[in-house]
Chain A
Amino acid sequence: MEIQLQYYLVVSCFMLACGIFGFFVRRNTLAMLIAVELMLNAADINFAAFNRYLFNDALEGHFFTLFGIAIAAAETAVAVAIMINLYRNLNSIQTKDIEDMKH
């Protein structure tokens, strides 16, 4: 029994749905960022699986995943810096407490 492309897609689809749900439900900005990471990861799985199963001699999906990982790491670093700064100013990183761009 071969592993089909659809199996990977189902797993990543479930992961994306979890990310969407978490992004709506969480009220802590760090928890929302974790949900965003889940969604990005689901997209990365899709890139790699499509590349391997449908375009086996090309490398586009592989390199898009590689750049996606790098950009996700960069985005996380900046977001975490912003949240630490927010916590220093407001003593909270809940979404309801963050109202102004400048404090």
Chain B
Amino acid sequence: MEITLQNVVFAIVAAAMMLCSFLTVTTKNILRSVTYLLFTLLGTAVFYFMLDYTFLGAAQIIVYVGGVVVLFVFSILLTRSDKNLNARLQPSKILSAAIAALVGAGVFLWCMLTHNFASQVAPTGEELDMKVIGQTLLGADKYQYLLPFEAVSVLLLACLIGGVLIARKR
């Protein structure tokens, strides 16, 4: 049982992600919470890179880190959420939320650790060809994704118009 560089990287990234996702929901300062979310999302991108889905990791970094996190920071500053995060909750409510989360996590862990998965193929290190991704995304045959692609484009247009319409000044 030798320990490779990949194991070390995985262990470090996994530990950092778990720590950051825990701090995301427990820290009192919402700007710090967004920063921890940023590190969690970057760790997810590293996971995609380790699974040899390079395009997916790049999309994750561009969309989440470049778009969503910046949007969060802007909206926090615009709504002055950094001043009034007052999470003054009764301890009983925090306790019940923790129990709900722990029971859920326990059930999931029990399911996935006792289930015998079919033969696993470890990532071989050869990344998914960009040509394959493009042809699958824009093909109309079986197992190809032209229709969802167009549906997402319409959805994004609707979101663009809806966002402007909702947030504009009257």
**Residue pair B148, A67 in contact (C-beta under 8 Å):** yes
Nearest 10 Cβ contacts at the A-B interface: A22-B25, A24-B97, A17-B105, A21-B101, A81-B167, A81-B163, A74-B159, A87-B79, A81-B166, A56-B121
**Residue pair A53, B120 in contact (C-beta under 8 Å):** yes
Looking at chain A's contact residues, the main secondary structure is: helix
A/B interface sample: 23 pairs, CB < 8 A:
A1-B1, A5-B120, A6-B112, A15-B17, A21-B101, A27-B87, A34-B33, A35-B24, A37-B64, A38-B24, A48-B53, A52-B51, A53-B122, A65-B48, A65-B56, A66-B137, A69-B64, A72-B68, A80-B75, A83-B75, A84-B78, A87-B78, A87-B80
Using CB atoms, name the residue of chain B closest to A56: B121
> How far does the Cβ of B27 sit from chain A's closest Cβ, in whole Å?
10
Please give the residue numbers on chain A whose beta carbons come within 8 Å of chain B beta carbons, in ascending order: 1-11, 13-22, 24-28, 30-31, 33-35, 37-38, 41, 44-45, 48-49, 52-54, 56, 58-60, 62-63, 65-67, 69-78, 80-85, 87, 92-94
Using CB atoms, name the residue of chain A closest to B149: A67
Interface string of B96-125 (1 = CB under 8 A from A): 111011101100110011000110111100
**Residue pair B166, A78 in contact (C-beta under 8 Å):** yes
Is B140's CB within 8 Å of the partner chain A?
Answer: no
Looking at chain B's contact residues, the main secondary structure is: helix
**Residue pair A22, B84 in contact (C-beta under 8 Å):** no
Using CB atoms, name the residue of chain B closest to A30: B81
**Residue pair B2, A1 in contact (C-beta under 8 Å):** yes
Please give the residue numbers on chain B whose beta carbons come within 8 Å of chain A beta carbons, in ascending order: 1-4, 6-7, 10, 14, 17-18, 21-22, 24-26, 30, 33-34, 37, 40-41, 44, 47-48, 50-53, 56, 59-60, 63-64, 67-68, 71-72, 74-76, 78-81, 84-87, 89, 93-94, 96-98, 100-102, 104-105, 108-109, 112-113, 117-118, 120-123, 128, 132-133, 136-137, 143, 145, 148, 152, 155-156, 159-160, 162-164, 166-167
> Given A34-B24, A87-B78: A10 and B109 within 8 A (CB)?
yes
State in angstroms the CA–CA spacing of A15 and B24 once bound together.
10
Other A-B pairs beyond A14-B22, A82-B166, 14, CB < 8 Å:
A16-B104, A21-B98, A21-B101, A25-B89, A25-B94, A25-B97, A31-B30, A34-B34, A48-B48, A52-B123, A62-B56, A70-B152, A83-B75, A83-B79
